[in-house]
Amino acid sequence: MKMKTPDKRVPQRTCTGCRRCGDKSTFIRLAISEGRAVVDHYGTMPGRGAYICPDSDCLDKAIRKKSISRALKSGVSIDVDMLRQEIEDIEKQI
């Protein structure tokens, strides 16, 4: 008798801005590089990550609530203009 293999589970993440849960692939990962929060395009940077929807409104909410620093568990500096530009570029690609 052949055993049925279980379906692969898709990792779930939560947006730090709007708190929406979803598949990891639908979010943008932020990580710490040189003391700053940066977009981790390939999801391979070491350390903790914070996830955010590819939406500039979610970025605004996350910055207003200071949830990016809290999710990264670090007092990192956040270059808002750089993050906003990268997220808008990703929004255009979707």
> Hey, what's the torsion of the CAs at 9, 89, 87, 12, to 10 degrees?
0
Distance separating the N- and C-terminal Cα atoms of the chain: 45
Q: 30, 72 in Cβ contact below 8 A?
A: yes
Instruction: Write down all domains in the chain, each with its CATH number in brackets.
Output: 12-93 (3.30.1230.10)
Please report the pLDDT score of residue 74 as a whole number: 87
- Is it the case that residue 3 has pLDDT exceeding 70? no
Interacting residues of 71 by C-beta distance below 8 A, sequence separation 6+: 16, 48, 50, 51
When pLDDT is cut at 50, 70 and 90, the band that residue 2 belongs to is low
Please report the pLDDT score of residue 1 as a whole number: 56
Please report the pLDDT score of residue 81 as a whole number: 92
Over residues 21-61, the pLDDT tens digits come to 999 999 999 999 999 999 999 999 999 999 999 999 999 99
Q: Indicate whether this model's pTM tops 0.75.
A: yes
Distance CA 23, CA 12 (A): 5
